Amino acid sequence: MIRPKDILYIDITQALIFSMINKVEVRNETSTLKHVILGTAHANGKIPKPKDAYDPTSLQHILANTYPHEEALSKEISSFATLLEKYGVKVYRPEILENINQIFARDIGFVIDQYFFKANTLPERKKEWLAIQSLIHNIHEENIIDIPENVHIEGGDVILWNQYIFIGTYQGNDYSRLSTARTNPAAVSYLKDFFPQKEVLSFDLIKSTLRPEENVLHLDCCFQPVGNDKAILGKDGFISSKESEQIIEIFGKENIFFLTKQEMTEMHSNVFSINPQLVVSDKRFRRLNHWLHTNGIQVEEIKYQEVGKQGGLLRCSTLPLLRD
């Protein structure tokens, strides 16, 4: 249980801004971004013990003594915030919870059309919701959706592309024993029922708690649309090649940047679009960034390597509320 003293409250200016937010709408991954929640590394807590790692990338860096410290994480996220604001995006930050990792805002909620869905995350991450509820509660009540408890879903597994909703899942019998399995098949059925007019497609992802190269934590770690008609795809992230072929059929092979297995492991697909002509990417992603440039997409390159050591990157850090 979290007591009031465990929360470092936002200042009054931020609170007043929160009170003005009453609309959300997101229909795809690339339309012009207006409002977004960006995670925070402040009061991030101590380096976890190996047994407490949520994913194999974090575990790898804990064991190698290369797990990132709060100062380095905060510096990278602050640079991201400055860049978003440079392009006129209104950036909101979570209230700060002491000793809780709040970097990956993407997973605790997501917007589809004009609805905000409160995600059902890992039990260990439930407290993160407290940090954004003061913002979300100002959205019209009928547009806030509490997902049933049996439906497990995190925002990183939800990718929107107009009439399509792509959902990353894990269907193995060992689902309940894997900390890297975040979205179950019940989530696919639930969203199909909620959006009967859309085409909801599911993708069974590879999972491992020990080997980063054999794990796709969320769908956005191996797939993401960019621009108006293009996509980034790591085919090695899918259990069935037939499922990755669905994406190729939708976007067209000539419009897809295919990741190597190493690039997929490093999450090169986890970039973030400010608009169809502008993508924020990691400086390390040279081959991808060149491809984006050659396809008429401007790339703002920033350093995000320390954040990446925790198993997520640019898209993972953001929770878009409004895209034009």
| Chain segment 153-191, per-residue pLDDT in tens | 999 999 999 999 999 999 999 999 999 999 999 999 999
Give the per-residue pLDDT at 291. Answer: 98
Judge whether residue 5 has pLDDT over 90: no
Judge whether residue 115 has pLDDT over 60: yes
What is the average pLDDT score of the chain?
93
The one-letter amino acid code at 271 reads V
- Predicted confidence (pLDDT) per residue in 121-131, tens digit: 888 888 898 89
* Mean pLDDT, residues 36-55: 92
Judge whether residue 13 has pLDDT over 60: no
Give the lowest-confidence range in 122-126, 146-150, 195-199, 308-312: 122-126
Judge whether residue 18 has pLDDT over 80: no
- Predicted confidence (pLDDT) per residue in 276-316, tens digit: 999 999 999 999 999 999 999 999 999 999 999 999 999 99
Handedness of CA 217, 223, 226, 229 (dihedral sign): negative
Question: Concatenated DSSP letters for 163-177?
Answer: TEEEEEE---TTGGG
Give the per-residue pLDDT at 20. Answer: 53
* Mean pLDDT, residues 36-60: 93
Q: With pLDDT > 90 as the criterion, what percentage of the chain qualifies?
A: 85
Whether the CB-CB separation of 291 and 46 falls below 8 Å is answered with: no
Tokens 């994913």 sit on residue: 55
* Mean pLDDT, residues 111-140: 90
Q: Where are the beta strands (DSSP E) in 6-157?
A: 7-8, 33-38, 90-92, 96-97, 109-112, 115-118, 144-146
Judge whether residue 75 has pLDDT over 50: yes
Domain 11-323, what fold? L-arginine/glycine Amidinotransferase; Chain A (3.75.10)
Q: List C-alpha distances in Å: 321 to 6, 26, 47, 132.
A: 26, 7, 31, 12
Give the per-residue pLDDT at 40. Answer: 96
Confidence of residue 21 (pLDDT cuts 50, 70, 90): low
Give the lowest-confidence range in 5-14, 184-193, 259-268: 5-14
Q: Could you tell me the two tokens for 244?
A: 């990755």
CA atoms within 13 A on the CB side of 5: 0
- Identify any residues that bridge with 319 across adjacent strands, giving them in sequence order: 37
Tokens 């970097």 sit on residue: 103
Judge whether residue 15 has pLDDT over 60: no
Confidence of residue 138 (pLDDT cuts 50, 70, 90): confident
Q: Which is it for strands 7-8 and 96-97: parallel, antiparallel or unpaired? A: antiparallel
Q: How far apart are alpha carbons 25 and 116 in whole angstroms?
A: 8
Give the lowest-confidence range in 41-50, 73-82, 216-225: 41-50
- Predicted confidence (pLDDT) per residue in 89-106, tens digit: 999 999 999 989 999 999
Q: Could you tell me the two tokens for 176?
A: 């309940």
CA atoms within 13 A on the CB side of 56: 18
Judge whether residue 2 has pLDDT over 90: no
Instruction: With residue 199 as reference, give the H or E element that holds it.
Output: strand 199-204
